[in-house]
Amino acid sequence: MGRLPRPTGDDIIYHAINRGNNRADVLGPDGERDMFLGDLARTKARYPFALFGYCLMSNHFHLLLKPAPGQSISRILQSLTVAHTWRHHRRQGTSGHVWQGRFRSPVIQDGDHLLVVLRYIEANPVRAAMVADPCEYTWSSHRCHGAGHADPLLDSFPEWEQLGRTEPERRARWRRKVRGEQPAKELDGVRSSVRSGRPYGAEDWVEVISHRLGIVREPRRRGRPSREKML
């Protein structure tokens, strides 16, 4: 399948992902992830968006966000990665590509599907065996959602409010959910969406939003799939 066009429009939620060029650990060195969060805050101030969740791994990042009316996911992600690339090279004394040229940004349905993706994002460090408890991972929205640490980058959203009547109740419920094993069907669904770029949500919603945004499935190319699509 060829590349899908970037979906645009107001009131759209995206799961944005990008990897280091050649899967390099561009966020691995000390201080690099903190620097990236600073660039994320500056990008958010310049090109407003609501941020519902994030996780910075050593060689890639996940963002769950909704651009403000009139903003585009392409502008936001380009601004973020360009800013980080400049600071990275200045700090490391390097040059060349830091991030893969084309990021991924499948559209996400609100409601339960948004929470499935947020759970997937915040459990990343546990699946990668970096920590046993997601609350222990510094560069993730779970430190706020699960442990109650203040995070000025994050915005509220209706699905969070519906997890409980009080903030402690919501945090406790979310901690249990993220610490538990996520169903294979959910993992496969999120991963398939990331690989293909297709919207993630209920089948009827996917059909409607694909038509609205002009996302059309292209004929599959012959030949062996690329290694990246097999992972």
Residue 7's pLDDT is what? 55
Is 219 domain-assigned?
A: no
**Mind listing the pLDDT tens digit for each residue in 10-62?**
789 999 999 998 888 989 877 899 999 999 999 999 999 999 999 999 999 99
Residue 2's pLDDT is what? 46
Is 50 domain-assigned?
A: yes
Residue 45's pLDDT is what? 98
Is 105 domain-assigned?
A: yes
Positive or negative, the Cα torsion across 206, 162, 122, 85? positive
Is 209 domain-assigned?
A: no
User: CA-CA distance, 18 to 84, in Å (whole number)?
Assistant: 12
Is 218 domain-assigned?
A: no
Residue 92's pLDDT is what? 78
Q: How many domains does the structure of the chain reveal? A: 1
> Count of CB atoms within 10 A of residue 75's CB?
15
Is 134 domain-assigned?
A: yes
Is 165 domain-assigned?
A: yes
Q: What is the CATH number of the domain that holds 189?
A: 3.30.70.1290
Is 224 domain-assigned?
A: no
Low-confidence ranges of the chain (pLDDT < 70): 1-9, 216-231
Beta bridge partners of 104: 17
Q: Residues 121, 53: contact at Cβ < 8 Å?
A: yes
Q: Residues 229, 146: contact at Cβ < 8 Å?
A: no
Residue 124's pLDDT is what? 97
> Count of CB atoms within 10 A of residue 102's CB?
11
Q: The domain containing residue 187 runs over which residues?
A: 13-202
